[in-house]
Amino acid sequence: MHGILVIDKPQGITSHTVVQRVRHACKVKRVGHAGTLDPLATGLLIIGIGKCTRLIEYLVSSEKSYRATFVLGKVTDSQDITGEVVGEGCAAHITADMIHQTCAAFVGDIEQVPPMFSALKQNGVPLYRLARKGVEVERQKRQINISRLAVEHIEDDQVTIRVDCSKGTYIRTLCHDIGQQLGCGACMTSLRRIRSGCFDESMAISMDALADGDFQLLSATAALQTMVNLKVTANGRDRLLHGIPPLVGDIADESSLEDAEQAAFYFEDKLLAIASYDPEHKFDERGDFKLVKVFPEGI
Beta bridge mates, 121: 126
Cβ count near 261 (within 10 Å): 10
CA pair distance 56, 168, nearest whole angstrom? 15
Kindly list the distances between the CA atom of residue 283 and the CA atoms of 76, 156, 277, in Å, as whole numbers in the listed order: 51, 60, 10
CA pair distance 197, 64, nearest whole angstrom? 6
CA pair distance 48, 34, nearest whole angstrom? 8
Considering 38, 77, 177, 288, which one is annotated as catalytic?
Answer: 38
* CA torsion, ordered 280, 283, 285, 267, to nearest 10 deg: -90
Cβ(11)–Cβ(41) below 8 Å: yes
Q: Where are the beta strands (DSSP E) in the chain?
A: 3-9, 31-34, 42-49, 64-72, 74-76, 85-88, 108-112, 121-122, 125-126, 142-155, 158-165, 186-196, 199-200, 228-231, 263-267, 270-277, 289-294
Asked about 288 being catalytic, the answer comes back as no
CA pair distance 245, 223, nearest whole angstrom? 22
Beta bridge mates, 9: 43
Per DSSP, the residues of 184-237 read S-EEEEEEEEEEETTEEGGG-B-HHHHHHT---PBPHHHHTTTSEEEEB-HHHH
Residues with catalytic function: 38
